[in-house]
Structure 1
């Protein structure tokens, strides 16, 4: 039931996204409006920017609904010179005439237009434009474009210039250049498109797809919640039968993460554990997707009842338990060669995780603890377990393109596990001190997960409790016991 629910929900999400996109595209073209693409900053050291030749054939569209120009499709182009007071020329004409006009003239081809901005100018993006784009060879300067008679549509003048063209059959090219035929050309270009055919079809189709997607999503969520509840009840049944998984309130935090280092370990098996664990990764992806919805549903239940539904609680803890066992086997610890079992319940595996069930939870904390209150811990855990990534855009050495470069820093946990693996490879020993530190980092992360997933209200301590087992909470001795005569 859970697996069927996951696939139904995923299909529903995809269909809903397609439906929303279609309806947005439809709304953007209503009342004669254009579907607007992002503004691009484009430069060339040549005399013109020329689009690729576009072949248009609208003869297959016939009927009274296409009797007027533009009912198949219409294109709008706006261009503004980046140079103050520079007049701009935009022209659309037959590709053969454009090629003759620009024969032996240096020019550049227009780059691809970015994704639609749905009516909002998102600003220029120099890495997706064409600064320094290669220029075709040539030695001649073009004649005045406004004097040419082959243009189907053209406009010229200062400031922002706009041309709108209803598609016609043929081969067409668009030219953008300085009106005085000077070089270089440096403009901000924005394109738009609309189609009465799309307006008539996309809106109704998009609505149908959206409704289908929402129905599939709702069905998938119900199946996932029922499936998760069934799995959770089976875990509680196993506990009542006396199987492993019970815990007391004697630990520092009411979440217990344990791991027993298996010695000796294989020198080389860690090199392929990522491959061996692939079936677990696939199943954990399904369970993790379900965990999102069970957590949301449980949060709503806590808001009204101050209780976490016990079956979903057991399921959530089971998903964390399964995740920890796979991490303990693979690249969160590499501390056992024993293959993890495919179960949410506790077993005799060397790694285990459990959370003490709360009889009552705060109704108010459920609204803020998973994001606002957890921010300090999320930052620390992010540094300890995920590292950091960054990206910058730089000009290539040939000054023709923008190149995206990525930089990243490995996590502390990843570095420690790598050191443990290399030491294991050469010595066949896993250093116990290193293992204790790795356990401490994982323990911190799972305590924070417990808090973020609404399983407990107790704020996680800022502690790196190292070692294979949870530290035991000890009541401080009373003053009367320590000093029989306090006065």
Structure 2
């Protein structure tokens, strides 16, 4: 098994529903609102206290790892579900497929976490500095994100007209999603101590 977070998305290149592609932003709005609700902290008025940007439980995880050397299984299950949900939404909004993001897991989109063995495989001190060590990734990731948005606009026009999603666009967009999931897995989800690669794949 990989020691980094792995993202799998089945990209639909042919026979796309041109109407749903053209109105994707409007159609996806309810799903965006639903996912956004997970970003609201249930512990404090400050989102940074208990929830990260993706709505995952971050601070309690850090505290459990540092002081107890454990990764609570219920937190891991929740974080995994939220990341998969966010990835399904990203795949839909960025028009990788026409499958409306379900609130349950499906076979078209999967995010695989490394086996943390309840936290036994993880360093107890490293979580305190991972956010700092990942700074270069924020910069590179922002560049990838801008490129992916430009690529998505081009692919959106082409797919809306022809019903075919370009393969080259899928590689870039999926690579960017996978990249951010790897970075998040390292510095926020804390499911690996392996420093993320800078590659899209």
- TM-score normalised over the length of structure 1: 0.36
Is 1:310 aligned to 2:98, yes or no? no
Separation (CA, whole Å) in 2 of partners of 1:275 and 1:342: 18
Separation (CA, whole Å) in 2 of partners of 1:314 and 1:267: 36
Separation (CA, whole Å) in 2 of partners of 1:351 and 1:373: 29
Equivalent in 5, 14, 23 of residue 272 of structure 1: 23
Aligned to 2:128: 367
Q: Could you list the structure 1 runs, at least 4 aligned residues long, displaced by more than 6 angstroms after superposition.
A: none
Is 1:285 aligned to 2:20, yes or no? no
Residue 260 of structure 1 and its aligned partner are, at CA, apart by 0.9
Report which structure shows greater RCO (CA 8 Å, sep ≥6).
2
Aligned to 2:106: 347
Residue 283 of structure 1 and its aligned partner are, at CA, apart by 2.1
Separation (CA, whole Å) in 1 of partners of 2:103 and 2:183: 24
Is 1:452 aligned to 2:187, yes or no? yes
Separation (CA, whole Å) in 1 of partners of 2:150 and 2:82: 26
Assess if the C-alpha contact under 8 Å between 1:280 and 1:326 holds in 2: yes
Larger Rg: 1
- What do residues 80-132 of structure 1 show as CA deviations (whole Å, max 9, x unaligned)? xxxxxxxxxxxxxxxxxxxxxxxxxxxxxxxxxxxxxxxxxxxxxxxxxxxxx
Is 1:443 aligned to 2:178, yes or no? yes
SS of the equivalent of 1:338 reads coil
Separation (CA, whole Å) in 2 of partners of 1:324 and 1:376: 22
Is 1:432 aligned to 2:182, yes or no? no
Residue 337 of structure 1 and its aligned partner are, at CA, apart by 1.2
SS of the equivalent of 1:268 reads helix
Separation (CA, whole Å) in 2 of partners of 1:380 and 1:315: 28
Aligned to 1:257: 7
- Could you say which structure has the higher helix fraction? 2
Separation (CA, whole Å) in 2 of partners of 1:382 and 1:437: 13
Equivalent in 127, 132, 137 of residue 377 of structure 1: 137
Q: CA RMSD in A?
A: 1.6
Equivalent in 50, 62, 69 of residue 299 of structure 1: 62
Q: How does 1:184-223 map to 2 (within 5 A)?
A: none
Residue 357 of structure 1 and its aligned partner are, at CA, apart by 2.9
Is 1:338 aligned to 2:89, yes or no? no
Aligned to 1:103: none
Separation (CA, whole Å) in 2 of partners of 1:372 and 1:418: 32
Separation (CA, whole Å) in 2 of partners of 1:435 and 1:265: 14
Assess if the C-alpha contact under 8 Å between 1:256 and 1:353 holds in 2: yes
Q: Structure 1: state its 5+ residue gaps.
A: 1-248, 386-410, 466-487
SS of the equivalent of 1:353 reads strand
- TM-score normalised over the length of structure 2: 0.85
- What do residues 160-211 of structure 1 show as CA deviations (whole Å, max 9, x unaligned)? xxxxxxxxxxxxxxxxxxxxxxxxxxxxxxxxxxxxxxxxxxxxxxxxxxxx
Assess if the C-alpha contact under 8 Å between 2:18 and 2:159 holds in 1: yes
Separation (CA, whole Å) in 1 of partners of 2:89 and 2:173: 15
